[in-house]
Amino acid sequence: MLFNSLEYLVFLPLVTLAYYLLQSLRARNFMLLLASYYFYMQYKPEYGLLMLFATFVCYISALGISKTQSKAIKKLWLTFSVLGTMGLLFFYKYFNFFNRNVAGLLSFFNVSWQPLSLDILLPVGISFFTFQSLSYTIDVYREDIIAEKDFFTFALFVSFFPQLVAGPIERSTNLLPQFYQHNRFDTSKAVSGLRLMLFGFFKKVVIADRLAVIVDTVYNNYKSYNGVVYIIATVAFAFQIFCDFSGYSDIARGSARLFGFELMSNFERPYYSKSVTEFWRRWHISLSSWFRDYLYIPLGGSRKGYVRTLINLFVVFTVSGLWHGANWTFVVWGALNGAAIVIEKILGIGKRAGKQEYMREQAIKRRQKPWFVRAAVTIAGIIPMLITFAFICFTWVFFRAQSIDQALYMLPRFLEGLDTFDLQKFIGTRMILGLDS
């Protein structure tokens, strides 16, 4: 069931009404659990079994961890949880990708091997609910949260429909306790939630879906274009993916707010960033913080020396690229962002951007400098913002391209045909405006 569908616009009010009509907290949660599974199984009924499997693995693992004092047994339960959830994710998302690349590597050494290719349909949201359920087990292992004894409440945490298929990836420390609150209908929260949903629908349907026409037209027929058309399509994609993803997050947060629940903010004006480091503090915050807490820190974070810190940063962002999709384009995209952050770390650019922001705000706020000095400081703040945006758009080429070859074909041609480009003719076509069916 899609957010931007008639089914959801009927489904959400009915579930909200049922939630407040029920007085028992346990009945409310069980109803939300059933509604969440109904929501998810509208994509494909068997998807519910996969989510139930991940839920069961993490539930019993957390209980096993909480019931023993042995560190070795705790690690065994944690390993079981990691293998169960990541094994599920690997099989459905990366099995064919892994097989193809192993076959390619063997052929390089003149070893003939026919890879097994399975007709696997990637379950919607599997990357989200596996990460969310696994983080819970790790939190229990770290003693950041007490293991949830009620299976249905934990199952609701994993499957809560507003954030199930597109995030944000919630933490057990934030969302689980909220299911024990006996929320009363709050008009101000409901209005706030509806307003947030409306803004999300606007970003998704009005902006993202219109920009997708431009992006798809160019990227699906990239050999028919070059130069400024590539630039326009790539900038359009930058705003398409932001409005699409942040729009879904807004709808998710607004939907949850109707029930009195608060989900974390996932985007904080990322294109205002003055460095790639700052961009990743503002973009897909729930995923960035997940990789920080559950991969970067376990790898050693910044505790094992300067060089190790740089390596850890690069590894984390490369892996995060693979999380987005089973294609080398995503790996390169993640690696480029990781390399940029490593370079900024070496040069101290991220810290410098923060200092510039502080100085600019102080100069304007106190009005102690002449107008031309204030203007110069403002411009000095805009320049790194534009440079960062240009780099992010450069990496988006790999993210949107269907192959490395396509990205490498397009990038050298970005500046071709600048003198012959007719903007009015390009924008005026019915296809670009999305008027053709």
> Which among 408, 409, 398 is positioned nearest to 332, based on CA atoms?
398
CA distance 211 to 227: 18
Active-site residue, 182 included: no
> Which among 122, 118, 124, 116 is positioned nearest to 93, based on CA atoms?
122
**Residue 168 token pair:** 């944000």
CA distance 186 to 211: 36
**Residue 329 token pair:** 């384009």
- Taking the alpha carbons of 29, 34, 39, 43 in that order, is the dihedral positive or negative? positive
Q: How many CB atoms lie within 10 A of CB 376?
A: 14
C-beta separation of 166 from 284 below 8 A: no
| Active-site residue identified among 210, 281, 308, 324 | 324
Ramachandran class of 62: left when φ > 0, alpha when ψ lies in -120 to 50, beta otherwise: alpha
**What's phi and psi for 175, nearest 5 deg?**
-85, -40
Mind telling me the catalytic residues? 324
